[in-house]
Amino acid sequence: MAKQDAMMSGAGWLGSLASKLTKALRKKGVSNEQIHELVKDGEAPDALIEKIASVLAETIQDAANLFCVTVDYSMTIEQMIAAGRYDWQNNDVNDKHFPIPPSKRVRQEVAIKLVQFDSNMESEEVLRELDKMGLRPAELPELLAFGAAYPEKQREFPIVALGSVWHDWDGDRGVACLYRDADKRNLDLDWWSGGWGSGGRFAAVSK
C-alpha cells in the first residue's frame, strides 16, 4: 500500500510538472497542435527530454548555490567579524584595511552565489568568467554576512571574496577567504596572485 501511495504521489508530481510545462509553452506562443506533435506517439523525443533535464538540472544546481543574506553596512568590519563567531581571524582584516564607504551605511538584501570552476585559475581569469555570467565578485561585508548567516558552509570548502582587495606594505594584494582548519572556522587573507585551485568557491553577486 505504501509503495502504491508513493507511486501515485510520483505520478501526481509528474502530472503537475507536465501541466505547468504545457502552460509555459502556450504562454510563449506554442500552439496545442505543436505541443501534441511533440508527443503524438505517447512519448517525447529523447533529444527534448535531454534538453529539459539539462535545463532543470542547471536550475536546481543554481538554486542550491544561491544564498540570501542581509548586509548591515551600519556595522563596522570588526562588528561583522564578531557576528560570524570565527575561531580564528587574520588581524589584517579590519576597518582600516577594508573601509566601508559612507554611502553604503544602510542594510541591503543580497543574493550570494557560490561559483566553482573545474580548473586552476588566476584571479583575473575568475573576474572575466564571472563577468560573462553577469556576476561581480562579492565584497568583504557581503562575505562576512554570508559567514554569519551560513557558518557551516566554509567547513565544506574555502570561500573567497575577490571584490575587496588590501594592498600590504610590499604592494602585495590580499583578499578575504573563509575556510576550515581541522574543526575550526577561520577568516583569513589569501594572495591575489598565485592562482586558485578548483576545490574552492568564489562568492559572487548579480550586477
| pLDDT over 70, % of the chain | 80
Q: Which residue has the higher pLDDT, 59 or 77?
A: 77
Whole-angstrom distance, CA of residue 123 vs CA of residue 5: 52
Only one residue has cell 551605511, namely 105
Identify whether residues 91 and 13 lie together within a single domain.
no
Tally of domains in the chain:
2
Q: Tell me the pLDDT tens digit for each residue of 183-199.
A: 999 999 999 998 999 99
Residue 54 pLDDT: 63
Residue by residue, DSSP assigns 69-134 as: EEEETTS-HHHHHHHHT-SEE-TTSSTTTSPPPGGG-SEEEEEEEEE--SS-B-HHHHHHHHHHTT
Please identify, among 60, 79, 100, the residue that sits at the C-terminal boundary of a domain.
Answer: 60
| Residue 139 reports pLDDT greater than 70 | yes
Identify whether residues 181 and 99 lie together within a single domain.
yes
Q: Tell me the pLDDT tens digit for each residue of 11-69.
A: 576 677 777 877 877 888 878 887 777 666 666 667 666 666 666 656 556 656 799 99
Summary mean pLDDT of the chain: 86
Amino acid at 121: M
Q: Domain range spanning residue 12?
A: 2-60
Determine the 3-state secondary structure of 191 from DSSP.
strand
Identify whether residues 48 and 116 lie together within a single domain.
no
Identify whether residues 95 and 149 lie together within a single domain.
yes
Identify whether residues 93 and 51 lie together within a single domain.
no
| Residue 9 reports pLDDT greater than 70 | no
| pLDDT over 90, % of the chain | 63
24-28, 134-138, 155-159 — which is least confidently predicted?
Answer: 24-28
